[in-house]
Every structure is written in structure tokens, then in C-alpha cells.
């Protein structure tokens, strides 16, 4: 499998390069022309001359729309692993998926997506419990809360539609409301990623938690998604499709 890697000079780009097995990255893109580990890096998508099978996007939300146009131009499958993408670009992704196969997920980790599936079942069983989400990442992460925290919240809300997110209780001088779902954020050190969902009931607490000890899990998930796309026609897929999970 020949890969074009968007965001090749970033931390996740380097992580994916380190995670390669039988795959090959033939070229990549970044803010300017250059080279990484002998691989050609382009500052402009129009300059790309290499042939490739699939595109993996680990860039940033301001670049993803250009990556999408690049994929459409070459009619190539696209894995979008970039987070904090605007609603406008999400609509562009949905439209583009009618012409090319796309995997788009807030988190490429197998474990996180397994938790997301379990959550849907837990919410139904623990319907009267208070729910809180806590997420932690390294001190260089820009977006807050994480895309994964948003994904977990949406899964919970699908099953308890009355819940609404509360991000800050500093100025709140009242007791917790029944339908609140608190989302707390930690940014510190080199934490690769931690997400915890707490269900607190009368005299008991249930917690489901995922901890990433390395960014390699996201790179490996993206590679798995890329291989999955090579067998697919046009359409929009997520990691549950990649894992072949009937949710």
C-alpha cells in the first residue's frame, strides 16, 4: 500500500512513519517543501507527482479542506484523522464521500471506539445516574475539549437526549442539575490521551476509562483504516466500520 501522508512533519506524521510495516509512504505534505527520512515533502498539493493508493490526513483543521480537494482531484481514498474540524468542513466531507471512500473519526484508537460502543449500552442500563466526562492531554494540544470527549458525549446523548454539556462550574453557585453532563479538561506534560466516563448513582460509581500510553495507537488505527478503504467504494465510514462492529 502506497500512502500520501498529509502532516508528515508533525508529531503524528513521524509516529505513523515509525509504525509502518508493509506499507510505504511515497510522499507527504507540510507547510513547505522539504524531505523527511528521504521522502519528498510538498508545500503545495498541486506540485505532487508521485502515484499513491490512499491519503492519510494527520494535519490540522485549517488544512483538511485542501486535503479533501486533493483527494477528490485524484479520486483517492482518504483517512481523516485530524480533529477539531468545523461543521462546514464536515459537510464538505459528507459531500465528497459520494465520490470517494472516506474514513472520518474523532479518534483512530481501537480501544476508544470499543469504549464508545460499550457506552451506548451502559447509558441505557444506568439511566438515572449522573454522568461526567474527564479528558486529559499533553500541554501542546490546542483544541478543548478533545474530539474524543465530544464523540463520547454524542454517544451518551443519543441515548439520553435530555442531557446537556456543562464545561465550567466556576461561576455556578447552585447544586448540580439533574440533566447536566460535566466535561472536564486537563492539559499537562506529555499525556498522550486519557478519557474517563463516570456514572455516579446512589452509593455507587461506575467508571469506564481509556488511557493512551503512546500516540502509536492512533497511527496504527489510521493504517488499519487505510487498508480498509482499499476494499471499499464511495461512502463515509468510521472506525466502527473499520473494526466491522455491528453496534
Q: Round to whole Å and give the CA distance between 184 and 136.
A: 9
Q: Round to whole Å and give the CA distance between 86 and 64.
A: 10
Catalytic annotation present for 121: no
Q: Round to whole Å and give the CA distance between 26 and 212.
A: 28
Query: Which of 244, 224, 247 is closest to 1 using CA atoms?
Result: 224
Q: Which of 40, 106, 137, 220 is catalytic?
A: 137
Q: Which of 65, 76, 141, 232 is catalytic?
A: 141
Catalytic annotation present for 61: no
**Structural contact between residues 237 and 107, judged by C-beta atoms closer than 8 angstroms:** no
Positions marked catalytic: 137, 141
Amino acid at each position: 500500500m502506497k500512502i500520501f501522508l498529509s502532516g508528515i512533519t508533525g508529531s503524528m506524521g513521524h509516529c505513523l512513519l515509525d509504525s509502518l510495516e508493509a506499507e510505504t509512504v511515497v510522499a507527504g505534505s507540510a507547510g513547505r517543501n522539504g524531505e523527511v527520512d528521504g521522502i519528498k515533502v510538498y508545500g503545495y498539493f498541486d506540485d505532487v507527482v508521485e502515484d499513491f493508493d490512499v491519503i492519510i490526513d494527520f494535519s490540522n483543521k485549517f488544512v483538511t479542506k485542501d486535503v479533501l480537494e486533493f483527494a477528490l482531484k485524484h479520486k483517492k481514498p482518504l483517512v481523516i484523522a485530524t480533529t477539531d474540524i468545523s461543521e462546514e468542513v464536515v459537510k464538505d466531507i459528507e459531500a465528497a464521500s459520494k465520490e470517494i471512500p472516506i474514513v472520518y473519526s474523532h479518534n483512530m484508537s481501537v480501544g476508544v471506539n470499543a469504549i464508545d460502543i460499550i457506552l451506548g449500552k451502559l447509558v441505557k442500563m444506568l439511566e438515572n445516574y449522573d454522568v461526567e466526562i474527564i479528558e486529559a492531554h499533553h500541554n501542546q494540544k490546542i483544541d478543548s475539549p478533545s474530539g474524543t470527549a465530544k464523540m463520547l458525549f454524542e454517544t451518551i446523548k443519543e441515548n439520553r437526549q435530555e442531557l446537556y454539556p456543562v464545561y465550567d462550574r466556576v461561576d455556578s453557585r447552585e447544586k448540580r442539575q439533574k440533566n447536566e453532563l460535566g466535561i472536564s479538561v486537563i492539559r499537562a506534560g506529555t499525556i498522550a490521551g486519557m478519557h474517563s466516563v463516570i456514572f455516579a448513582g446512589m452509593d455507587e460509581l461506575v467508571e469506564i476509562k481509556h488511557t493512551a500510553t503512546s500516540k502509536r495507537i492512533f497511527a496504527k488505527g489510521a493504517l488499519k483504516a487505510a487498508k480498509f478503504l482499499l476494499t471499499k467504494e464511495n461512502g463515509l465510514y468510521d472506525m466502527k466500520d473499520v473494526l466491522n462492529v455491528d453496534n
